[in-house]
Amino acid sequence: MFAYEFMRNAYAAAGIVAVVAAMVGYFLVLRGQTFAGHALSHVGFSGATGAALIGLAPLQGMLAAALAGGVCIGLLGEKLAQRDVAIGIALSFSLGLGLLFLHFYTSHATQATALLFGNVLAVSAHTVRVLLGLGLACLAGLALISRPLLFASLQPELAQAKGVSPRLYASLFMAVAALATALSAQVVGVLLVFSLMVGPPAAAQRLTHRVGTGLALSVALALGSAWLGIALAYWTDWPCSFWITTLSCIAYLAAMMRRRSAP
């Protein structure tokens, strides 16, 4: 199957996205903000459809909208309950905008479907290069804030007493999460972002409490789900997104069962 250029592009894109989604998703799960990734994907969808209406690339609109939504969620919601309210408001508003833009976007229904459910087999070499650049920027940003972010996530009161601003790092992290969400949507679509950003990290945290080991395991599970999912799609002619989400779900269920059976 690697004789085909579109398959090589698909594997490259899926690999980039899986690594970024797994790393960022680990902190999303750790901080109890998994709903934020779902909300940001819908915010990105409204941006992508809006950009297409004015003749811009959907990825540009998705990135801009997701970044704006992520920063707003980080700034508006400091405590867990406040974050839930902020995320819910952003989600409902973005869904309304997406519905409006989709009303005028019906002549491009195929592209709209790809935004919703993903189409990694249609990724071009140029898109792979764009994803690589954005992915490196996302990982670099996460590396810069990871230590204070981890401190603020596990011990927020102590971190604030030490001069670490939870709101600042929450906003920075949500900006990074917005980039990761936009990247993930290129592979699994807006509606299935959870499959890469939540499934493998949640499974990893079920298996180990060590951050370094958990991050590595999260990346391994995400890569396995993405790459094996593409291979199964090639062999069965079923949608890639179906296989990726199924494998991610299986990984989480297996981790949960192993955790319960452990002494």
Residue 135 has what pLDDT? 94
How far apart are alpha carbons 47 and 115 in whole angstroms?
11
pLDDT at 22 over 80: yes
Of 3-17, 59-73, 98-112, 154-168, the least confident: 98-112
For residue 220, the domain's CATH number is 1.10.3470.10
Cβ atoms of 168 and 218 within 8 Å: the answer is: no
The pLDDT assigned to 86 comes to: 64
* Mean pLDDT value across the chain: 85
More confident residue, 83 or 238: 238
Query: Is 122 buried (19+), middle (13-18) or exposed (0-12) by CB count in 10 A?
Result: middle
Alpha carbons 207 and 204: distance in angstroms, whole number: 5
230 contact partners, CB below 8 Å, separation of at least 6: 7, 10, 11, 14, 120, 121, 240, 243, 244
Nearest by Cα to 178 from 133, 138, 231: 138
Give residue for tokens 């679509």. 189
Which pLDDT value is given to residue 60?
87
- What is the enclosing helix (H) or strand (E) of 142? helix 125-154
Helix (H, G, I), strand (E, B) or coil at 224: helix
Task: State the pTM of this model.
Answer: 0.87
Residue 215 sits in which domain range?
Answer: 5-261
Could you please report the per-residue DSSP string of 5-49?
A: HHHHHHHHHHHHHHHHHHHHHHHHHHTT-HHHHHHHHHHHHHHHH
**Most trustworthy range by pLDDT among 65-69, 106-110, 155-159, 248-252:** 248-252
Give 76-85's long-range contacts (Cβ < 8 A, gap of 24+): 77/170, 78/166, 78/167, 78/170, 80/32, 83/33, 83/36, 84/35
Q: Which two tokens stand for residue 169?
A: 């790092």
Residue 119 pLDDT exceeds 70: yes
Say which residue the tokens 């007493």 belong to. Answer: 161
> Domain tally for the chain?
1
pLDDT of residue 189: 82
Residue 107's pLDDT band, with cuts at 50, 70 and 90, is: low
* pLDDT at residue 201 tops 90: yes
- As a whole number of angstroms, the distance between CA 38 and CA 75 comes to 18
DSSP 163: T
Mean pLDDT across the stretch 101-106? Answer: 71
Higher pLDDT, 55 or 122: 122
Percent of the chain having pLDDT more than 90? 42
Is it the case that residue 96 has pLDDT exceeding 90?
A: no
- The answer to whether residues 34 and 87 touch, using CB atoms and an 8 Å cutoff, is no
Q: What is the pLDDT of residue 81?
A: 46
Average pLDDT over residues 17-46: 87
Greater confidence (204 vs 34) lies with 204
pLDDT over 70 (residue 185): yes
pLDDT classification of 80: cutoffs 50, 70, 90:
very low
Question: pLDDT, tens digit, for every residue of 232-251?
Answer: 999 999 989 899 999 999 99
